[in-house]
């Protein structure tokens, strides 16, 4: 199917936005699990929410190159917002979800100005600081958040007024999955748009991005806001499906875990969060069954090896495999974070 | 397959998922024990799991002809995980009862589930007053903070102390101790100054300096157990022990699990608690000995006894119901009374909370090791926060 | 008629060091102008001031009569002031196709379009292909930039600036590292730009300068040393002295 | 508000000597932080390497002292050289085998790698030594406090100030006056140029890394009494190290030194005078500094 350069170019640009067979397979399995794994809906719900959270981090790390050690700030904010909204205003899940998402986005917008300056390390520390301060606020505002005891008395109404949250976690999983899927569709469109491409230029080389007329700061603010909204949605899903919010939602380990998951799954192709969340949870389950107290040792070892081998090279291998599975001869390796 | 089809599939899935349901008969009596086996609260989990296993080893694994099975799960001390695990145990493993719960938020997160699924829930560690009010299926065998801190406030006032400074870590249990001790102490004519220490706090010197400035009769401390030793060392380092300020607290700071590693700085610290490994009774001697034997010489602490008694409550209840769970089991556990290693105790038939003796102890050296030696008893204390 | 690009009393200090010293410079519309100077003369600082990477300590920069001294770099680009870099500044993880696509889309104001896939507009594609063909990149459009040979990367570096449709183009040693044989091709492409594009060439290689430029400015120690036509500069003994002094240690 | 202590302000307004005691405590605390963090600051400045596992070396130093004292009965002072040497040797080995492979990677890779090491170290120490806090018994001449012109001064804290003070002066001397110091400074300024001048930068890196790890170990041993010591040490104090480094900057030792003192004094004084603000103060200071002075507070903008 060789054609004029124009045709080739059009085809190649379209290629990135076209759905691959494996993607279909993935979502088929995810939806199939509703019937195939009825006794695992609770853990599946946890995984899909974590995956959505990791995907939100991918938007800023994998596409715009902003490393964050405090992404749980938005996850936690969304969770508390949804929980408090259900208690104080109305228990309708969708209303709460939408508002929590918007509110988290607003928080992301405000704090985005803090991450514009500085490079990797300063950003890591600033994001970490923001999450720590928010966590401390949640701890202090006991009258609103329940403090260290956690937020209690969250009672959710049925989804769409039809589906009650059941004990088996079925409604919870289906609800989280559908929401995640919709958000994924939006994210997938965004990352292959001109806007998404411009983010990748910022990730690879902010200096040059600016020199070809891309307003770097504004793009970063936009994507940071978007990622915060996504993280907030994940937090809201957690609060609504577990009907409880505790300070853990905003804790450092939540931010660190999601970063690890994303890195294990690979950045910059949206599915990294899903792969990472699944691998992480399964590993956690397997290893902690085998050696409950010391499973962090093995996670640490995996990280060390992952970095030593080189995340890029690993991702490249995955890309090669991926291409081979699709029967395409030409793998296009991807770089992770811009760095020169 | 297009994206639209996908959405359709999702909608269909939603419908189907909600109509299906499962119900299975149960053969064995399964008890789900949810504990923090990793993370910062590992020691709580270890102690309770060891005690529960010891109880089953001693009392057998058959009740009413059915086999009792203990399923231990790690929740890493994170509330949403605790809840998820409890839910899985209830719906997948069809457990008769859930137990454990190392921290207050973990118990509170799970309480609505117990109500919804009518599953008895035995709280073996978490100590905040409100827990048992959050579900009629909760029974507690650990302690209630007001139950310890309140009577202690009265006892301290009776010793003639007029002014106390409290230093508590700024989180739920700390606030509880501060409130109940202070209220009762003030009601008995004392004066209190409250200080709170942030959870992440490496150096206690500013707080101890404030205490030194204030020169109270006693300093009441409540900090997470690992940090307690540091606090005591700095207390001694500042010479506060020689300044006539008595160091007092709830038994959490002189936890049997770490008392020996704290070292001699703990000598003379007066605390109130419901359990000491040095409690002088045949039941306790047997318990401590068996526990140490089964666990490499590990000394049982108040967490262990909470787990041990929790299993006892479940066993006795199940015997009465012939192995049935649900409301019957809760009913059966209400009003139970027995001689625990900690001393006489019972389950309040109205509040399902624990009624037990509170002991006043002093850290002393016994046979080369540090122990909390009991020297006064406040008998049969109900949780004052519920005794209306 | 106002100059394409003009600086008045431009100055930049770093602590006690004056890197750009009161430079008043004028680039005429349609000019083929070269800026030369020995190493450390402050050429790069000057370019960074013009493009807004650095803020001047004093002085004014005007683009087609408009004061752009305080304008953000990306807005200067939107107004047609585009540069290339002495050391390639490319997007390692993207393909030339995507790289050029971003620049073209951005210029056409599609930068915030997030719902439409990149490359769904044929005007964009046509222009990418046109530029790629002109810079001999058509055969490597889908390869990852990081894996391109240096020569192709260099071409992409220049092509990327073209994709921004410059009215004033600053070329910072465009031939650096390019083999002799390809240099003239490169310059020929630049020279073939329509005359309404003004070009400022910052260069070290005197041959290249003399074959390309119509006017030459010489920067020494951050200050404008002299300016004139090619022959004036070529015959200026002071310029020779400056370069002779340099050639001894270079 | 529930969090405010009753009458904390009205009861006892501190007098002058008390201010000095607070200052003294803050300085001692800051000094420990400096010894703990200065190695991190050097590796960050010298190799642009983000070593989040720095606290592991501090923990190793602390455990060396604890084990030597509690199991082998070695006196406290005699353990300190080992608390320096063991982590230094460990640092050297790790630098040669692992760290140097990552000098050219981006910060995120370095962060992930070193966090992985932290996880492994925490679990390993927990496995070998147990999760309980390790306690050391100070010799009697370091316990208690004395009254100096009406100011209450803790003996151990005085000891720390003296030891750390000597260390600071010594480090400054090494950096400013010795050949190695000159090479180190050259390499920090521009490793490429330094290499061009014939300096064996890889050797300088290794030696510096080892020394930094050793210092952290010494800090861990000295600080065990004040900060506590258990397997989670590297994670618990990571934030404090990072604050020192980010606030102090990495281009010299004086920046982190002032930052440590500032942090120590601000933390102690903040908790003394406004205890209800608790942990907010230092986090907020960190964010503000990083936003307005991303290079650090005590660094001249370049």
Domain boundaries, chain B: 29-143+281-352, 146-273+359-381
pLDDT the model gives residue C33: 92
Minimum CA–CA partner of C116 in chain A: A193
pLDDT the model gives residue C37: 84
Per-residue confidence band for B23, with pLDDT thresholds at 50, 70 and 90 = very low
CATH superfamily of B146-273+359-381: Response regulator (3.40.50.2300)
SS3 assignment, position A62: coil
pLDDT the model gives residue D2: 38
How far is the first Cα of chain D from the last one, in angstroms, to the nearest whole number?
46
**Between the CA atoms of B26, B27, B31 and B32, what dihedral angle is there, to the nearest 10 degrees?**
-50
pLDDT the model gives residue B387: 61
Q: What percent of chain B has pLDDT over 70?
A: 91
pLDDT the model gives residue A312: 64
Number of domains chain D contains: 1
Number of domains chain C contains: 2
Model confidence over B99-125: pLDDT tens digits? 999 888 899 999 999 998 999 999 999
Per-residue confidence band for D297, with pLDDT thresholds at 50, 70 and 90 = low
CA distances from B300 to A160, A172, B145, D76, D130 (A): 51, 40, 20, 31, 16
* Mean pLDDT, chain A, whole residue set: 85
pLDDT exceeds cutoff 60 at B34? yes
> Could you tell me which of C235, C88, C87 has the C-alpha nearest to residue C153?
C88
Interface B:D, Cβ pairs < 8 A:
119
pLDDT the model gives residue B258: 83
Pick the last residue of a domain from C165, C196, C224: C165
Structure-model confidence comparison of residues D219 and A122, the more confident one:
D219
pLDDT exceeds cutoff 90 at B359? yes
Sort strands C215-220 and C32-36 into parallel, antiparallel or unpaired: parallel
Quote the CA–CA distance of B264 and B371 in Å, as a whole number: 11
Q: Which of A223-227, A292-296, C120-124, C210-214 has the lowest mean pLDDT?
A: A292-296
How far is the first Cα of chain A from the last one, in angstroms, to the nearest whole number?
37
pLDDT exceeds cutoff 60 at C245? no
CB contact under 8 A, B14 and A24: no
Model confidence over B145-184: pLDDT tens digits? 899 999 999 999 999 899 999 999 877 788 889 999 999 9
Per-residue confidence band for B6, with pLDDT thresholds at 50, 70 and 90 = very low
pLDDT the model gives residue B7: 44
Boundaries of domain holding C124: 87-165
* Chain C nearest CA to A200, separation (Å): 8
Q: What is the DSSP letter of B353?
A: -
> Could you tell me which of B341, B350, B352, B354 has the C-alpha nearest to residue B380?
B354
pLDDT exceeds cutoff 50 at B262? yes
Per-residue confidence band for A338, with pLDDT thresholds at 50, 70 and 90 = very low
CA distances from C204 to C23, C38, C184 (A): 20, 8, 15
Q: What is the DSSP letter of D237?
A: T
Mean pLDDT along residues D278-293: 75
Model confidence over A132-163: pLDDT tens digits? 889 888 988 888 888 878 888 888 888 888 88
Quote the CA–CA distance of C24 and C13 in Å, as a whole number: 16
SS3 assignment, position B166: strand
CB contact under 8 A, B261 and D226: no
pLDDT exceeds cutoff 50 at C247? no
Q: What is the DSSP letter of A245?
A: B
* Chain A nearest CA to B90, separation (Å): 9
Does any CB of chain A come closer than 8 Å to the CB of residue D281?
Answer: no
pLDDT exceeds cutoff 80 at A54? yes
User: Taking a C-beta distance cutoff of 8 angstroms, is the pair B170, D3 a contact?
Assistant: yes
- The DSSP annotation for D64-95 comes to HHHHHHHHH---HHHHHHHHHHHHHHHHHHHH
How far is the first Cα of chain C from the last one, in angstroms, to the nearest whole number?
41
Claim to verify: residue C130 and residue C247 sit in the same structural domain: no
Q: Do chains B and C touch (3 or more CB pairs under 8 A)?
A: no
Model confidence over B74-86: pLDDT tens digits? 888 888 889 989 9
* Mean pLDDT, chain B, whole residue set: 86
Q: What is the 3-state secondary structure (H, E, C) of chain C?
A: CCCCEEEEEEEEEECCEEEEEEEEEEECCCCEEEEECCCCCCHHHHHHHHHCCCCCCEEEEEECCEECCCCCHHHHHHCCEEECCCCCCCCCCCCHHHHHHHHHHHHCCCCCCCCCCCCCCHHHHHHHHHHHHHCCCHHHCCCCHHHCCHHHHHHHHHHHHHHCCCCEEEEECCCCCCCHHHHHHHHHHHHCCCCCCEEEEECCCHHHHHHHCCEEEEEECCEEEEEEEHHHHHCCHHHHHHHHHHHHHC
CB contact under 8 A, D107 and A339: yes
SS3 assignment, position B318: helix
What are chain D's partners, defined as 3 or more CB pairs within 8 angstroms?
Answer: A, B
Per-residue confidence band for C242, with pLDDT thresholds at 50, 70 and 90 = confident
Minimum CA–CA partner of A196 in chain C: C114
Quote the CA–CA distance of D212 and A247 in Å, as a whole number: 36
Q: What percent of chain C has pLDDT over 70?
A: 97
- CATH 3.40.50.2000 corresponds to the domain B29-143+281-352: no
pLDDT exceeds cutoff 60 at B26? no
Sort strands D151-154 and D145-148 into parallel, antiparallel or unpaired: antiparallel
Q: Where are the domains of chain A?
A: 10-251
Mean pLDDT along residues B327-347: 94
Model confidence over C217-235: pLDDT tens digits? 998 888 888 888 888 888 8
- Taking residue D165's Cβ as centre, other Cβ atoms within 10 Å add up to 12
Indicate the pTM of the whole model. Answer: 0.85
3-state SS of chain A: helix, strand, coil percent to 5? 75, 0, 25
SS3 assignment, position B96: coil
Mean pLDDT along residues B231-255: 86
Mean pLDDT along residues A7-29: 82
pLDDT exceeds cutoff 70 at B266? yes
Identify the helix (H) or strand (E) that includes residue B257.
none
Quote the CA–CA distance of A261 and A256 in Å, as a whole number: 9
User: Taking a C-beta distance cutoff of 8 angstroms, is the pair A104, A80 a contact?
Assistant: no
pLDDT the model gives residue B32: 94
* Chain D nearest CA to B214, separation (Å): 7
In a domain, D155, yes or no: yes
Does any CB of chain A come closer than 8 Å to the CB of residue B20?
Answer: yes
Claim to verify: residue C95 and residue C114 sit in the same structural domain: yes
Structure-model confidence comparison of residues D14 and C36, the more confident one:
C36
pLDDT exceeds cutoff 50 at A4? yes
Quote the CA–CA distance of A334 and A332 in Å, as a whole number: 6
Q: What percent of chain B has pLDDT over 90?
A: 54
pLDDT the model gives residue A174: 95
Claim to verify: residue C138 and residue C120 sit in the same structural domain: yes
Claim to verify: residue C101 and residue C139 sit in the same structural domain: yes
pLDDT exceeds cutoff 50 at C244? yes
The b/e string for A87-123 (b: 16+ C-beta within 10 A; e otherwise) is beeebbbeebbebbbebbbebbbebbebbbebebbbb
Quote the CA–CA distance of B81 and A254 in Å, as a whole number: 12
Tokens found for residue D263: 């942090």
Model confidence over D103-137: pLDDT tens digits? 888 778 888 899 889 989 988 998 888 777 787 87
Per-residue confidence band for B331, with pLDDT thresholds at 50, 70 and 90 = very high
Mean pLDDT along residues D27-38: 88
Of D98, D119, D283, the CB nearest to A300: D119
Model confidence over D157-180: pLDDT tens digits? 889 999 988 988 888 888 888 888
Claim to verify: residue C61 and residue C185 sit in the same structural domain: yes
Boundaries of domain holding D211: 20-232
In a domain, D181, yes or no: yes
pLDDT the model gives residue C168: 93
Per-residue confidence band for A3, with pLDDT thresholds at 50, 70 and 90 = low
User: Taking a C-beta distance cutoff of 8 angstroms, is the pair D248, D298 a contact?
Assistant: yes
Structure-model confidence comparison of residues B71 and A327, the more confident one:
B71
pLDDT exceeds cutoff 90 at B218? yes
pLDDT exceeds cutoff 90 at B136? yes
In a domain, D98, yes or no: yes
Of D7, D11, D132, the CB nearest to B258: D132
Claim to verify: residue C11 and residue C68 sit in the same structural domain: yes
pLDDT the model gives residue B361: 95
pLDDT the model gives residue B202: 67
Quote the CA–CA distance of B66 and C86 in Å, as a whole number: 82
What are chain B's partners, defined as 3 or more CB pairs within 8 angstroms?
Answer: A, D
pLDDT the model gives residue C38: 81
pLDDT the model gives residue A103: 97
Please report residues of D whose CB lies closer than 8 A to that of B199. 279
Structure-model confidence comparison of residues B218 and D251, the more confident one:
B218
CB contact under 8 A, D287 and A124: no
pLDDT the model gives residue A329: 43
Tokens found for residue B341: 């290693």
Q: Which of A83-87, A203-207, B275-279, B331-335 has the lowest mean pLDDT?
A: A203-207
Quote the CA–CA distance of A105 and A82 in Å, as a whole number: 13
Q: What percent of chain C has pLDDT over 90?
A: 25
Minimum CA–CA partner of B242 in chain D: D144
* Mean pLDDT, chain D, whole residue set: 81
Q: Which residue matches tokens 């999450």?
A: A131
Identify the helix (H) or strand (E) that includes residue A56.
helix A41-61
Claim to verify: residue C16 and residue C54 sit in the same structural domain: yes
Per-residue confidence band for D230, with pLDDT thresholds at 50, 70 and 90 = confident
Q: Which of A306-320, C182-196, D62-76 has the lowest mean pLDDT?
A: A306-320
Mean pLDDT along residues A73-92: 94
Identify the helix (H) or strand (E) that includes residue A192.
none
pLDDT the model gives residue B13: 45
Mean pLDDT along residues C146-162: 89
* Chain A nearest CA to C37, separation (Å): 24
- Taking residue B148's Cβ as centre, other Cβ atoms within 10 Å add up to 29
């Amino acid at each position: 199917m060789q054609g004029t350069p124009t045709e080739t170019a059009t085809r190649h640009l379209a290629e990135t936005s076209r759905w691959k067979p494996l993607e279909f397979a993935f979502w088929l399995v995810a939806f199939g699990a509703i019937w195939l794994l009825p006794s695992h809906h609770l853990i599946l719900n946890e995984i899909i929410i974590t995956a959505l959270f990791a995907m939100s981090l991918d938007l800023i790390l994998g596409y715009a190159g902003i490393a964050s050690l405090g992404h749980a700030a938005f996850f936690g904010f969304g969770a508390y917002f949804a929980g408090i909204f259900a208690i104080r205003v109305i228990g309708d899940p969708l209303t709460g979800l939408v508002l929590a998402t918007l509110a988290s986005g607003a928080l992301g917008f405000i704090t985005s100005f803090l991450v514009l300056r500085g490079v990797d390390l300063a950003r890591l520390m600033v994001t970490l600081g923001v999450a720590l301060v928010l966590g401390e606020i949640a701890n202090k505002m006991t009258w609103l958040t329940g403090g260290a005891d956690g937020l209690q008395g969250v009672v959710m109404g049925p989804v769409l007024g039809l589906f009650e949250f059941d004990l088996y976690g079925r409604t919870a999983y289906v609800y989280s999955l559908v929401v995640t899927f919709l958000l994924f569709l939006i994210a997938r469109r965004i990352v292959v748009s001109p806007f998404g491409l411009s983010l990748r230029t910022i990730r690879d080389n902010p200096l040059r991005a600016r020199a070809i007329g891309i307003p770097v700061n504004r793009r970063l603010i936009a994507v940071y806001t978007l990622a915060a909204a996504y993280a907030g949605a994940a937090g809201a899903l957690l609060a609504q499906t577990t009907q409880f919010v505790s300070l853990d939602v905003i804790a450092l380990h939540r931010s660190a875990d999601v970063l690890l998951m994303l890195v294990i799954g690979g950045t910059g192709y949206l599915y990294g969060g899903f792969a990472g969340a699944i691998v992480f949870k399964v590993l956690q389950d397997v290893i902690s069954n085998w050696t409950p107290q010391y499973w962090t040792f093995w996670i640490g070892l995996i990280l060390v090896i992952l970095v030593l081998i080189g995340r890029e090279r690993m991702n490249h291998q995955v890309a090669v495999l991926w291409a081979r599975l699709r029967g395409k001869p030409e793998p296009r390796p991807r770089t992770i974070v811009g760095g020169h | 397959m297009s994206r639209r089809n996908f959405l359709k599939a999702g909608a269909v899935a939603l419908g189907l998922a909600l109509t299906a349901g499962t119900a299975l008969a149960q053969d064995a009596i399964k008890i789900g024990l949810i504990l923090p086996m990793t993370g910062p609260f590992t020691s709580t989990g270890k102690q309770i799991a060891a005690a529960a296993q010891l109880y089953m080893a001693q009392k057998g694994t058959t009740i009413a002809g059915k086999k009792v099975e203990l399923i231990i799960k790690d929740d890493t001390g994170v509330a949403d995980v605790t809840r998820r695990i409890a839910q899985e145990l209830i719906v997948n493993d069809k457990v008769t009862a859930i137990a454990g719960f190392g921290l207050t938020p973990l118990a509170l997160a799970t309480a609505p589930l117990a109500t919804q699924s009518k599953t008895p829930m035995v709280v073996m560690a978490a100590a905040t007053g409100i827990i048992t009010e959050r579900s009629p299926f909760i029974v507690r065998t650990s302690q209630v903070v007001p139950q310890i801190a309140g009577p202690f406030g009265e006892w301290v006032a009776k010793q003639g102390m007029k002014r106390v400074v409290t230093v508590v870590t700024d989180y739920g249990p700390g606030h509880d101790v501060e409130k109940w001790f202070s209220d009762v102490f003030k009601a008995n004519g004392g004066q209190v100054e409250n200080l709170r220490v942030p959870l992440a706090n490496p150096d206690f010197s500013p707080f101890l300096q404030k205490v030194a400035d204030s020169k109270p009769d006693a300093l009441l401390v409540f900090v997470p157990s690992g940090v307690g030793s540091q606090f005591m060392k700095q207390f001694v380092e500042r010479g506060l022990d020689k300044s006539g300020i008595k160091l007092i607290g709830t038994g959490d700071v002189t936890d049997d699990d770490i008392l020996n590693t704290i070292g001699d700085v703990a000598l003379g610290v007066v605390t109130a608690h419901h359990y000491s490994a040095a409690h002088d009774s045949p039941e306790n001697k047997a318990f401590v000995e068996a526990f140490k034997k089964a666990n490499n010489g590990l000394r049982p602490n108040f967490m262990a006894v909470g787990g041990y008694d929790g299993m006892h409550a479940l066993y006795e209840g199940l015997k009465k119901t012939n192995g049935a769970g649900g409301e019957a089991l809760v009913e059966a556990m209400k009003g139970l009374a027995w001689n625990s290693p900690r001393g006489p105790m019972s389950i309040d038939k109205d509040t399902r909370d624990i009624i037990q003796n509170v002991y006043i102890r002093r850290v002393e050296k016994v046979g080369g090791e540090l122990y909390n030696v009991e020297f006064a008893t406040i008998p049969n204390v109900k949780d004052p926060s519920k005794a209306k | 008629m106002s100059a394409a690009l003009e600086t008045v009393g431009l100055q930049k200090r770093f602590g006690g060091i004056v890197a750009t010293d009161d430079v008043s410079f004028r680039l005429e519309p349609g000019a083929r102008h070269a800026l030369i100077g020995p190493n450390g003369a402050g050429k790069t600082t000057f370019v960074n001031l013009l493009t807004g990477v650095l803020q001047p300590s004093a002085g004014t920069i005007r683009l087609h009569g408009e004061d752009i001294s305080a304008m953000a770099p990306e807005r200067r680009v939107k107004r047609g002031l585009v540069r290339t870099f002495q050391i390639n500044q490319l997007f390692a993880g993207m393909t030339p196709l995507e790289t050029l696509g971003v620049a073209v889309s951005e210029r056409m104001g599609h930068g915030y379009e997030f719902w439409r896939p990149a490359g769904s507009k044929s005007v964009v594609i046509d222009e990418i292909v046109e530029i790629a063909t002109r810079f001999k990149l058509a055969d490597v459009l889908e390869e990852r930039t990081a894996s391109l040979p240096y020569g192709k990367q260099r071409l992409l570096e220049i092509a990327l600036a073209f994709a921004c449709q410059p009215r004033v183009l600053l070329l910072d040693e465009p031939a650096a590292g390019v083999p002799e044989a390809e240099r003239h091709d490169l310059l020929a492409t630049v020279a073939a730009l329509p005359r309404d594009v003004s070009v400022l060439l910052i260069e070290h290689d005197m041959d290249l300068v003399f074959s390309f430029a119509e006017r030459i400015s010489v920067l020494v120690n951050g200050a404008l040393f002299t300016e004139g036509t090619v022959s004036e500069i070529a015959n200026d003994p002071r310029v020779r002295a400056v370069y002779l002094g340099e050639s001894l240690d270079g | 508000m529930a969090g405010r202590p009753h009458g904390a302000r009205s009861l006892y307004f501190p007098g002058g000597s008390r201010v000095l005691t607070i200052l003294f405590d803050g300085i001692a605390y800051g000094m420990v932080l400096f010894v703990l963090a200065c190695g991190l600051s050097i590796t960050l400045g010298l190799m642009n390497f983000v070593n989040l596992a720095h606290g592991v070396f501090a923990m190793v130093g602390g455990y060396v002292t604890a084990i030597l004292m509690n199991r082998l009965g070695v006196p406290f002072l005699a353990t300190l050289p080992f608390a320096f040497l063991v982590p230094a040797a460990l640092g050297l080995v790790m630098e040669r085998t692992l760290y140097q492979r990552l000098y050219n990677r981006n910060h995120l890779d370095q962060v992930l790698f070193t966090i992985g090491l932290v996880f492994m170290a925490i679990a390993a120490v927990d496995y070998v030594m147990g999760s309980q806090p390790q306690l050391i018994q100070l010799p009697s001449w370091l316990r208690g406090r004395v009254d100096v012109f009406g100011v209450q001064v803790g003996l151990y804290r005085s000891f720390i100030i003296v030891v750390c003070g000597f260390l600071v002066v010594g480090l400054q001397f090494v950096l400013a006056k010795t050949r190695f110091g000159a090479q180190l400074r050259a390499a920090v300024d521009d490793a490429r140029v330094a290499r061009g001048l014939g300096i064996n930068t890889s050797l300088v890196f290794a030696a510096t890394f080892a020394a930094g790890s050793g210092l952290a170990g010494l800090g861990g041993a000295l600080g065990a009494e004040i900060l506590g010591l258990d397997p989670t040490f590297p994670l618990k104090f990571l934030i404090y190290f990072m604050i020192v480094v980010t606030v102090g900057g990495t281009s010299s030792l004086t920046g982190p030194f002032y930052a440590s003192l500032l942090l120590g004094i601000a933390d102690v004084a903040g908790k003394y005078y406004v205890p209800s603000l608790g942990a907010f103060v230092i986090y907020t200071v960190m964010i503000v500094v990083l936003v307005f002075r991303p290079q650090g507070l005590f660094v001249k903008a370049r």
